[in-house]
Amino acid sequence: MKKNSGLMTPEYLQGLRDCVPAGQVRLNEDMALHTTFRLGGPADVFVCPTSADELSAVLKYLAKQPIPLLIIGRGSNLIVRDGGIRGVVVKLGEGFDHVTIEGTYITAEAGVALAALSWKAAEASLAGFEFAAGIPGSLGGALVMNAGAYGGEMCQVVDWVDCMDRGGNVRRRSNAEMEYAYRHSILHDTDEIAIGAGLNLRAGVREDIEAQIKELNARRASKQPLNWPSAGSVFKRPPGNYAGPLIESAGLKGFRIGGAMVSKLHANFIVNVGGATAADVLAVIEHVQQTVLAQHGIKMEPEVRVVGEDPAP
């Protein structure tokens, strides 16, 4: 164990293993395996519940313990610092991804990948979710962030979201109660966890829907550096402007520190071109912010989430 984790006693760990099967609790887990950036230090304890009941049991147990807790999905919008994460990381992923389709209505759990859910909708001849096919995250993260692309956003299709608080209790929030805005929902303020949702789509023609998905994915592949590990778009869109063109106009395409580089294809992507550390990425982010502010007077706000701590000196 790393520093600050002295409370991780055998009794504490056994309590976690009483909440989920023992194999779903792992120690010193390499977080590079769980982020699309493929970097970051280890998590002290890593737990993978496969159902809402397991998650609730874990959260109820953790609520009684003075141990830090982080919830993640597919790690597509996440930078883990090189010193890793003290405390417990809970991942919603495999097994937490059931999907039910009835008519034009989809009920899905938070761990399902957006791409997989888009294709399931297409197979059922349901239109309206094509925009999400290329977003490299899970439904849970998309519900929290109001993820979107190519003119579509989650708020356009969400009927309700089941939200679990840190005590393991569930409430269902309507679309209006989610208070959706650009890359924001009420869950940022309440610290609740999106564990599933109901989505209202519309009937369509399967061949047309699949063709639309393929077209959007082709557009994405031509404009985004999908061949390198990254966290997707790094900065939020500034009011009245776009992050990529601002960064490009500042002459920063190809700017590199260590293994982290501003993509030459899309300037709002920072890519891991080999051996990048979180410190490399964060240094590139800071340089981009300083340069754009100096040249354009615009403060760039990161869209990615940074967690964990730096290595001990």
Q: If you write DSSP's letter for every residue of 188-244 in order, what string do you get? A: HHH--EEEEEEEE-EE--HHHHHHHHHHHHHHHHHHS-TTS-EEEE-BPPPTTS-HH
| R_g of the chain, CA atoms, integer Å | 20
Residues with catalytic function: 183, 233, 303
**What DSSP character marks residue 184?**
B
Separation of alpha carbons 65 and 59, rounded Å: 10
- Distances 58 to 5, 89, 306 between C-alpha atoms, Å: 18, 11, 24
Count CB-CB contacts under 10 A for residue 218.
11
Q: Which two tokens mark 93?
A: 């992923």
What sign does the CA torsion over 246, 251, 256, 257 have? negative
